[in-house]
Amino acid sequence: MNMGNGGIVIGVTGPAGWQRNVWALALSVFIAFVGFQFFSPFLPLYVQELGVTDPAAVALWSGVLAAVTPAVSGLLSPVFGRLADRFGRKMMLIRSLAGFTVIIAAMGLVTSVWQLLAARLLQGLFAGFTPMAMAVASVSAPREKVATAIARVQGAQLLSVAVGPAIGGLAATHLGIRPAFYVTAALCAVSLVALIFLFQEQRAASGNSRPPARSAPFREFLRQPHFVPVMALLVLAQFIDRGLALVIPLQVAHMPEVAAPAATSGLIISAAAVGATLSASLAARFSAAIPAGQLLLGQLVAGGAFCAAMALAGGWVSLLVLRVLVALCLGGALTLAYALGGLIVPAEARGAAFGWLALGVQIGTAASPLLTGALAAASLPATYLLDGGLAWLGALVLTLFARDLLRRRARGES
């Protein structure tokens, strides 16, 4: 993102201008993600409806379908970055939401799992909405407010997960899963309108004689101290979150005492989202007094233990309790990891840096359902043990390769 003189400036002028933009972005994210949660948690059930009956095949197909969209988006992220530099990040968000509106509606019309795969593949050409929104939030705020801005947008996303699956689960139970796609498309259209009219992207004055700054290449950030460990933490945090979202509906569907797996899965996912929203908000607030690295280390250690314990859940109630505990521990992990990213790069390069850090989130988003789905086909409990181990791996990465970040605090920018 162009952040130098003559480049693009995200936000409006004035001390509170960044807050207006972040709130507008959070509203747009909330509306869109309420729609996404109407269908995405129930993809395994939709796969069954499309004729796949073998449980192992359902798990594999669910992983592939969940992975293909972010995988395509991740591969194209350098192209999206160059387009954002030329046309602005707001235009890239508009492009994404407009594409979602059409393609997700088409998903409700497919008659085979192969057609659904083709639609998800096409969706990848318009994806990147989530990491782009996080990147925009990060460059909208002063350095000392990066955690607050990201937590606000992430909180909107997490809060939508508290609303969407519960309502979507009831709708899927009584109306079927197909109508959920049409509702999602309609909400994406509403989010698009909100973004267009409420979010303001200001460009630098045309009288500035300096040429626009160019986005720094990835190799420049690889030389930045702690950049690779922070990206690894983002990959791990997103991998765990996406993996759990896939496995919960699969495990609930195998519980004989559950009569309505869609509604029960929606309840568990929604309750976890409330815990994650609270965790992200508290993480942003506490990071003003406690180094973000220390907070993240504690979350990873405790969250890993609860993830592993989910392998022992014998019923949906125990699964619900443990999932909420995991959310309370790890819900703020992405917020804190992004906050660490804001500490290691200068302000004028933060836009480009967060664009590349968002690629780490895309990698986790794509790899998690693919690997988790393959592992779930062999053993559902093993997926929880994997997530717990990855959380502890994140704690190890932070301790061994980014120890300096355990003491570093955010400071204001001039």
E strand map for 204-357: none
Q: For the whole model, what pTM was predicted?
A: 0.72
Q: Among 405, 24, 30, which residue's Cα sits nearest to residue 231?
A: 405
How are the residues of the chain apportioned to helix, strand and coil, as percentages rounded to the nearest 5?
80, 0, 20
What is the rounded average pLDDT of the residues 177-192?
90
pLDDT at 204: 43
- Whole-angstrom CA distances from 123 to 119, 187, 200, 366, 368 are 6, 16, 26, 13, 18
* pLDDT band per the 50, 70, 90 thresholds, residue 413: very low
Of 120-134, 164-178, 278-292, 362-376, the one with minimum mean pLDDT is 164-178
* pLDDT band per the 50, 70, 90 thresholds, residue 3: very low
Q: Among 159, 151, 62, 103, which residue's Cα sits nearest to residue 336?
A: 151
Residue 215 pLDDT greater than 60, yes or no? no
pLDDT at 350: 66
Residue 206 pLDDT greater than 50, yes or no? no
pLDDT at 11: 40
Residue 348 burial (CB < 10 Å; 0-12/13-18/19+)?
A: middle
Q: Among 188, 171, 193, which residue's Cα sits nearest to residue 33?
A: 188
Q: Which residue has the higher pLDDT, 392 or 167?
A: 392
d(CA 129, CA 154): 12
Looking at 3.50.50.60, 1.10.600.10, 1.20.1250.20, 3.40.50.300, the CATH number of the domain 13-204+219-406 comes to: 1.20.1250.20
pLDDT at 348: 64
Question: How do residues 331-365 score in pLDDT, each as one tens digit?
Answer: 889 889 988 887 887 766 666 677 778 778 878 88
Q: pLDDT above 90 covers what percent of the chain?
A: 29
Residue 4 pLDDT greater than 60, yes or no? no
d(CA 335, CA 365): 16
Please state the domain extents for the chain: 13-204+219-406
Residue 390 pLDDT greater than 90, yes or no? yes
Top mean-pLDDT range of 19-28, 251-260, 388-397: 388-397
DSSP one-letter string for 71-133: HHHHHHHHHHHHHHHHH-HHHHHHHHHHHHHHHHHHHTT--SHHHHHHHHHHHHTT--HHHHH
Q: Among 389, 186, 366, which residue's Cα sits nearest to residue 300?
A: 389
What is the rounded average pLDDT of the residues 277-288?
86
Q: pLDDT above 70 covers what percent of the chain?
A: 87
d(CA 230, CA 340): 7
Question: How do residues 72-84 score in pLDDT, each as one tens digit?
Answer: 887 777 677 677 7
